[in-house]
Structure 1
Amino acid sequence: MYHTWMRYFTPGPVHQQLGLVCLGVGLQHGLLPTVGPRTLDHHVAVVISAGSGWFREPDGRRTAVTAPALLWLTPGVPHHYGPDPAGGWDESFVDFAGPATATYTELGYIEPHRPVVPLSDTAAPRAAVGRIARAARRGNPLLEVETGAAVHELLVALRRARADTNAEGDPVLGALARDAFQPLSVAEHAARHGMTPAELRAAVRRGAGCSPKDYLLAIRLGRAKELLVATELPVAAVARRVGYEDPAYFSRLFTRRVGTAPVRFRAQQGRAVPGGWSNRIPDPEHPPTIST
């Protein structure tokens, strides 16, 4: 005996331009029937929150599945899976597609080569699935946008819930963020962690989906923007604060990555922010409390 609830959607061409669209959602539990062998033309995330079963890969290997776990079903790849016939399992699934799936795959949020992913917890992913299920009521005029937004949220929740992810964050990424404003090369950062540059690149790529240089640059430029907007520090002083001794190089780098020069960025933001300049440099780790 098993229980099942599911809805399927057909987003139009305009909604496809959102990058991600939800094609279906389901909640099931009990002695569910075996799925496949089959091949789909879109992605499916299957979250197993209780019970156990198996997953058979295209090469015939059979992998045990024990909750909490995630099954990645990817387009064009045959799959075959099911719960143990004795106890069954509890699952929720979301079908989705769109051009943003390529970027999420490149960043490591979707893992086509690891179809069975152990999870530490399923509360956050199931909450995202629940939002899709609630949005799926018939007649909801915001259906495609609400469900598409929730797919983005689901992918982030699944990334955080992976059992190989430290709940406190990746220590290598944390250390890089802490030292981001020091004028250190990638090789010097690697040496601080007892790693080779190649090992550091692999660790950052695995944790953040980018190179160490791009990871550090994003942090530096984000802080530079905060200082340009919230203070009257000269551009040269802002450059030094974020790790660049050469203000001309900083300005060229900022212009290339942001699309506008630091001085112009400050002018644009200054006109948009009421209240004028602050005499306090903002601390990104301790935002102010907003009272109502």
Structure 2
Amino acid sequence: MYHTWMRYFTPGSIHRRLGLVCLGVGLQHGVLPAVGPRTLDHHVAVVISAGSGWFRTPDGQHIALTAPALIWITPGVPHHYGPDPGGWDESFVDFDGPATDTYTELGYIDPDQPVIPLSDAVGPRAAIGRIARAARRGNPLLEVETAAAVHELLVALRRARADTSPAGDPVLTALARDAFQPFSVAEHAARHGMTPAELRTAVRRGAGCSPKDYLLSIRLRRAKELLAATELPVAAVARRVGYEDPAYFSRLFTRRVGTAPVRFREQQGRTVPGGWSDRVPDPEHPPTITTPST
């Protein structure tokens, strides 16, 4: 009636210091038996890539789901789910670790939404496939490989959500485009027809931080690129990223980066043959690295 393949792992305390650990992986398809009602002490991401079924919440609410979809199982929360009579294709990853709190705060794990429609399951299935391949017997890198793949899976699941545009969150995209303009948060909000509070909520949901911190991260990222790859004076770099006062920019950069702009340039800057050091790098069109033919 159904086919199933599962592997379970017991990572040690040193691997938990990676932030996430993989506790198990499974690939199943067919008319699978229902799961639960049960409660677990760790997280599980269940990806339904074909078929349909149902999920029952702790308060008895019945949620119908159709692939592609994600079922979030969170620690301590009762759950009960299964496929319709036609069966489904399912893959799952059990995981845990202190980084789950941060991923939850950033919105990558959503305990308030146990069933999430996906635009497609290709990316998540690829990440789960990497975990399954790492699960081969005798793999000495098992715990680290699978832990890295869990991080990748959480990103793939966030990107695959049906409520996320392939081009990215439109509010975040527009903020990034205008990040170097001298707009206040209130002015950014007005440009989007939002109140400052609505903008804060949207950015917090999409990026896990305030609009001010989101804009600052973009400005500092660009400042680092200009300091490392050009010979522009610090004052010119400050203006390029939206600060007319170079002294304020230097203080801000030092406080957030941990080193002064001039020192950062000394540490990162280099002369690159071919004139790259004389050109302002374009983050949207990086140079192509080709492998010489043999």
Q: Secondary structure at the match of 1:32?
A: coil
Distance of 1:290 and 1:94 partners within structure 2? 35
Root-mean-square deviation over aligned CA pairs: 1.3
Match of 2:225 in 1: 226
Quick one: which amino acid aligns to residue 94 of structure 2?
Answer: D
Q: Say if 1:230 and 1:282, in contact at 8 Å, map to a contact too.
A: yes
Cα offset, 1:277, TM superposition: 7.4
Cα offset, 1:205, TM superposition: 1.4
Instruction: Provide, for residues 153-190 of structure 1, a one-character-per-residue CA deviation record: whole Å limited to 9, x for no partner.
Output: 10000001100001111111111111101111111111
Aligned-residue sequence identity (percent) comes to 86
Distance of 2:72 and 2:269 partners within structure 1? 46
Q: Say if 1:23 and 1:97, in contact at 8 Å, map to a contact too.
A: yes
Match of 2:164 in 1: 165
In the alignment, structure 2 segments of 5+ residues that lack a partner are none
Superposition misfits of 4+ residues, deviation over 4 angstroms: 273-277
Q: Say if 1:232 and 1:277, in contact at 8 Å, map to a contact too.
A: no
Quick one: which amino acid aligns to residue 99 of structure 1?
Answer: P
Match of 1:269 in 2: 268
In the alignment, structure 1 segments of 5+ residues that lack a partner are none
TM-score with structure 1 setting the length:
0.97
Distance of 2:281 and 2:112 partners within structure 1? 43
Distance of 1:70 and 1:110 partners within structure 2? 11
Distance of 1:186 and 1:72 partners within structure 2? 34
Quick one: which amino acid aligns to residue 57 of structure 1?
Answer: T
Mapping of 1:1-292 within 5 angstroms?
Answer: 1-84=1-84, 86-270=85-269, 278-292=277-291
Distance of 2:229 and 2:69 partners within structure 1? 45
Distance of 1:231 and 1:277 partners within structure 2? 8
Cα offset, 1:247, TM superposition: 1.1
Cα offset, 1:291, TM superposition: 2.7
Quick one: which amino acid aligns to residue 38 of structure 2?
Answer: R
Cα offset, 1:146, TM superposition: 0.5
Distance of 1:279 and 1:127 partners within structure 2? 40
Quick one: which amino acid aligns to residue 27 of structure 1?
Answer: L
The worse-fitting range, judged by mean Cα deviation, of 186-195 and 131-140 is 186-195
Cα offset, 1:274, TM superposition: 5.8
Q: Secondary structure at the match of 1:291?
A: coil
Instruction: Provide, for residues 50-76 of structure 1, a one-character-per-residue CA deviation record: whole Å limited to 9, x for no partner.
Output: 111111111111111111110000001
Quick one: which amino acid aligns to residue 71 of structure 1?
Answer: I
